[in-house]
Structure 1
Amino acid sequence: MLLRMPHLERDGDVFVLYLGDEGQTDNENRFHPDWIDAFHGLLDEVEQTGVTAEQPHPPAALVTVATGKFYSNGLDTDWLFGNFDRSGWYLDRVHSLYTRLLTFPMATVAAVNGHAFGAGAMLATSHDFRVMRSDRGYWCLPEVHLGMPFTVAMNALVTERLTNQVAVEAMTTGRRYGAEAAIAAGIVDAAADADAVLASAVERAAALAGNRKPNLPVIKRALHGRALAGLAVPTTQENLAFQP
C-alpha cells in the first residue's frame, strides 16, 4: 500500500492539516508510524509559525480534514500485524496523537469529510469540536465486530469524551453513526453539506483563533485530566488481550 502523508495549508489564522497527500482522494489515512511522525511534525510547525518575542501567542486555530471517502480508518493494521512484537510501542504512538490534540494550545476542529472508523474516529473525538459531512460517512468504533479490545488509553479517551450511555452503545454494538445521529449523541457538534464541511470547520475555528493564550493549554489539561491520565498508561501484553 502506498503511504500517503499529511500536509499543511493555511486559511488566514486557521491552519488546515490534511490527513493525506495533496490531490489524493482514495486514501484511508491510516496511522503508519511514519505518518504519525509527520503529523506531529506538522503540529510542531503550526505551534511555531508566526511566533516572535513580541507576539509569542499570535491568533491561530487548527482544522484537520481529508479528501474523498475517508477522514481516517485509524490503525495501520498491515503494519501492526507485521510488527506485532512492537504493538505496545505502536499503540502508544497512536495514543500520542490524542494526547497532543487534547492539549493543543489553540482551538481544534475536525472537519469529518467521510468515514471515521476506530482509531480514526478517536482522532476526531480528540479535537475540541467536530463538523461532520451530512449526506454520507459514518463515525464508528467497530472493535467489537473485529474481536479487538480497546486499550486502557483508548477506553479512557472514549469514556471521558462521550456520555456513558453513548460510550456503551458505540463500544459494545459498533453502531455506525451518520451525522444526524452523531449530533443527537453529542459525538459531533454540527453537520454541513459535502462541499461546505471544511468551510464550516474553518469558520468555527477562525472565530476561536483569538483564544490562543497561555492559559488555554492549562485549561485543557485540567478539563481532560482523567482522559490524559488514561492515555499515559503504557500498553502492555497484560493490558492488551488481543492477539494476532
Structure 2
Amino acid sequence: MPYLEREADVFVLYLGNEGQTDSENRFHPDWIDEFHGLLDEVEASEGPAALVTVATGKFYSNGLDTDWLFGNLDHMHGYLDRVHGIFARLLTFALPTVAAINGHAFGAGAMLATSHDFRVMRADRGFWCLPEVHLGMPFTVGMNALLTNRLSNQVCVQAMTTGHRYPADQAAAAGIVDDLAAPEVLLETAVARAAALASNRKPNLPVIKRALHAGSLAGLAVPNTGENLAFAAG
C-alpha cells in the first residue's frame, strides 16, 4: 500500500509497500482508497507545501490491476471511473506536484505520471510506455483526453498506436518528462524541484489548473459505459 513521508515542505508519497522493492504498484481498489486517503492528509496540511510521488525498485507503476479487473468484469466501468478520478485529482491538486519516475511507468502508470505538473525520470533505466495496442485494449475517452491534451499529437501517435517504449532520453526529447536524474539523486532532484514551488500553494493554484486542464478533465468526467468502452480480444 502507498505510504507518506515528509521532507520539510515536500510530502513524498511512495506508491508501494514500505520496505518492498519488487511491487508493480498496480491500482487495486484498496490501493486507490489508500492513495486518496494520503492525498486527503496532504491537503489537510497548512502552509507552503508540494507533493512528490515515487516508488522503489524496478517499477514506478504498471497501472491497472488487470488480475483484479478481469476477475471482476462486472465492476469494470466503475473501476475505470475511479482510475480516472486519480488522474483528475492530480491534475487539479491544490499543491504543486512532481512525479519521480524511478522505474517502469506502463499504461495507466504512465498516465499517472503524466497527470503531475512535472516529471523527473531516472536517466539510466526504465521505460515510459503505453502498451495498450499490444494488449488489445482501447483507451477510454478519459485516457485519450488526458494524453492528447498533455502530449503533442505526434508523440501520442507513436506512443498510443505503436506501444513504443521510451527510455529516459527519448522521453525527455518528446516532452513526456521535464528532467532526468541519476538514480542516486532522483528523489533529491524531484524534491528540490517541488520545494522550489512550495510557496505557490495558494487558493488560486487549483483554479488555474482546472482552467489549464479543462480538456483533459472534461474527458475524464465522461462515465465509462458499454457504449464507449469495449475490451477487444487480445
Normalised by the length of structure 1, the TM-score is 0.95
> Which residue of 84, 103, 106 maps to 1:117?
106
Separation (CA, whole Å) in 1 of partners of 2:18 and 2:71:
28
The alpha carbon displacement at 1:200 in A equals 0.4
Write the deviation string for residues 162-193 of structure 1: whole angstroms up to 9, x where unpaired. Answer: 01110111000000001100000000000001
- Is 1:108 aligned to 2:104, yes or no? no
Q: What is residue 217 of structure 1 aligned with on the other side? A: 206
Partner residue of 1:27 out of 23, 26, 34: 23
| Unaligned 5+ runs, structure 2 | none
Aligned equivalent of 1:55: none
Partners of 1:171 and 1:193 in 2: CA distance: 27
Q: Is the 8 A contact 2:138 2:232 kept in 1?
A: no
Contact 2:95 2:205 (8 Å CA) reproduced? yes
Q: Which residue, 39, 64, 80 being the options, matches 1:75?
A: 64
Give the alignment of 1:113-152 within 5 angstroms: 113-152=102-141
User: What amino acid is the match of 1:148?
Assistant: M
**Distance in 2 (alpha carbons) for counterparts of 1:26 and 1:183:** 26
Q: 2: distance between equivalents of 1:92 and 1:195? A: 36
Structure 2: how far apart are the matches of 1:46 and 1:90?
24
Tell me, what secondary structure is at the counterpart of 2:4? strand
Partner of 1:40: 36
Give the SS at the match of 1:30.
coil
**Are positions 1:16 and 2:6 aligned together?**
no
Q: Distance in 1 between matches of 2:81 and 2:190?
A: 28
Query: Paired residue for 1:236, among 222, 225, 229?
Result: 225
Tell me, yes or no, if structure 1 residue 163 matches structure 2 residue 159: no
Cα displacement (A) at 1:195: 1.0
TM superposition shift of 1:243: 5.0
SS at the partner of 1:132? Answer: strand
Q: For residues 218 and 34 of structure 1, what CA distance do their matches in structure 2 show?
A: 29
Aligned to 2:80: 91
Structure 1 runs of 4+ with >2 Å offset: none
- 1 CA distance for matches of 2:43 and 2:89? 12
- 1:238 Cα deviation (Å)? 0.8
Q: Distance in 1 between matches of 2:184 and 2:163?
A: 28
Q: Distance in 2 between matches of 1:243 and 1:138?
A: 25
RMSD value, Cα: 0.7
TM-score, with normalisation over the residues of structure 2? 0.99
Instruction: Percent identity, please.
Output: 77
Q: Give ranges in structure 1 of 5+ residues lacking alignment.
A: 52-57
Distance (Å, rounded) in 2 between the aligned partners of 1:232 and 1:167: 21
Q: CA deviation at 1:123?
A: 0.0
Give, in whole Å, the separation in 1 of the partners of 2:75 and 2:57: 31
Matched AA of 1:106: L
